[in-house]
């Protein structure tokens, strides 16, 4: 800011030594006139300086007002952004909770499939097929005659034991018996396991089996039937991924399988696979075959881009380190 100049109105010693009764001289009046002119010039100069200072102050106040408004707007935008971030954090927390619950359910499913199912299957008795009736009635109309082949069902119905004469007498039966009806439930290889894994490699292996299943039994199914069958055979984690897909991402069986596989091959699931592999050890009393079934998918999931030879070496090393001696 500019400096203000000092103003002097008149000379204070103008009348010093003067006799007031004497008439004023023109020289004294000229001096007074000159002081008044200097006073006017000084006042005008200081007023101009004051005006410039006021203009600069107003400009500074305008800048402060603009910066304050910008600051308030930035604070408001930041508060809105924080609200959105909090919503995202809540969604992430809910997603993590769902994944932890799904992983706990998956561990339970693995335990149930590896131990409980084996015990149940071992305790099952083979189904006994009742013997054929002695006579077959002819069915009228358009119904087909259904005969069961004795040799294919494993029943020896062609031999009849007799205790007479302390010997055996065999009575052959008709050789025209045949199996004309074959349903989905009668084939020994028709059982399709529920996919309870959470790795892309295990899903690839299961997908091959599922597509073969569709080729055999689903030739006449609609696309909706195929998708429903896929959903029916998905375990907890894979079912959760299927439900999270958009309708366009599961409109066909190919899209559904592709998008589920993409989700399972994400960095998040690979990280989970690394953690599960680090914690995977052979349980006490667990069969080696069951332990290998749990170990191999985890090794394949953590080494998707490694050559097969190197992957086999890693698998052997993991098996040696994690199996019980």
Note the pLDDT tens digit of each residue in 149-189.
333 334 433 443 344 444 434 444 444 444 443 444 444 44
Q: If residue 60 lies in a helix (H) or strand (E), which one and from where to where?
A: helix 26-111
DSSP 195: B
Residue 154 to residues 98, 157, 162, 173: CA-CA distances in angstroms? 49, 9, 21, 15
Cα end-to-end span (Å), the chain: 90
Q: What are phi and psi of 88, to 5 degrees?
A: -65, -40
Give the model's pLDDT for residue 150.
36
Domain spans, the chain: 32-117, 194-265, 266-324
Burial 245-265 (b: 16+ CB within 10 A, else e): eeeebbeebeebbebbbebbb
Q: What sign does the CA torsion over 295, 296, 302, 308 have?
A: positive
Each residue's pLDDT tens digit, 65-106: 999 999 998 999 999 899 888 988 988 888 887 777 666 656
| C-alpha closest to that of 110 among 207, 196, 203, 235 | 196
Q: What are phi and psi of 234, to 5 degrees?
A: -100, 140
Side-chain-side CA neighbours of 30 within 13 Å: the count stands at: 3
Give the model's pLDDT for residue 234.
92
pTM of the model: 0.38
Q: Which residues of the chain have pLDDT under 70?
A: 1-2, 5, 7-22, 24, 101-190, 325
């Amino acid at each position: 800011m500019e400096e203000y100049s000092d103003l002097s109105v008149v000379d204070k010693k103008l009348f010093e030594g003067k006799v007031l009764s004497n008439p004023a001289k023109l020289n004294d009046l000229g001096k007074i006139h000159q002081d008044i002119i200097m006073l006017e010039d000084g006042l005008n100069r200081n007023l101009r300086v004051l005006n410039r200072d006021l203009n600069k102050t107003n400009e500074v106040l305008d800048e402060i007002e603009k910066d304050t408004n910008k600051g308030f707007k930035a604070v408001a935008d930041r508060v809105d952004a924080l609200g959105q971030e909090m919503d995202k954090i809540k969604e992430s927390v809910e997603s993590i909770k769902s994944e932890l619950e799904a992983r706990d359910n998956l561990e339970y499913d693995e335990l149930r499939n590896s131990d409980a199912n084996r015990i149940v299957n071992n305790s099952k008795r083979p189904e006994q097929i009742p013997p054929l009736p002695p006579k077959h009635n002819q069915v009228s109309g358009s119904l087909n005659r259904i005969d069961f082949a004795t040799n294919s069902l494993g029943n020896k119905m062609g031999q009849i034991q007799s205790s007479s004469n302390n010997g055996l007498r065999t009575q052959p039966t008709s050789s025209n018996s045949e199996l004309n009806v074959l349903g989905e439930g009668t084939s020994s290889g028709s059982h399709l396991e529920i996919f309870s894994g959470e790795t892309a490699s295990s899903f690839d292996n299961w997908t091959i089996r599922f597509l073969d299943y569709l080729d055999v039994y689903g030739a006449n199914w609609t696309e909706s039937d195929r998708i429903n069958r896929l959903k029916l055979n998905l375990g907890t984690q894979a079912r959760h991924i299927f439900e999270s897909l958009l309708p366009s991402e599961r409109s066909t069986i190919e899209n559904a399988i592709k998008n589920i596989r993409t989700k399972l091959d994400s960095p998040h699931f690979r990280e989970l696979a690394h953690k599960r592999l680090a914690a995977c050890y052979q349980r006490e009393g667990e069969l080696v075959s069951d332990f290998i079934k749990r170990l191999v998918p985890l090794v394949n999931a953590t080494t998707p881009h490694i050559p097969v030879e190197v992957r086999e070496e890693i698998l052997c090393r993991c098996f040696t380190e994690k199996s019980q001696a």
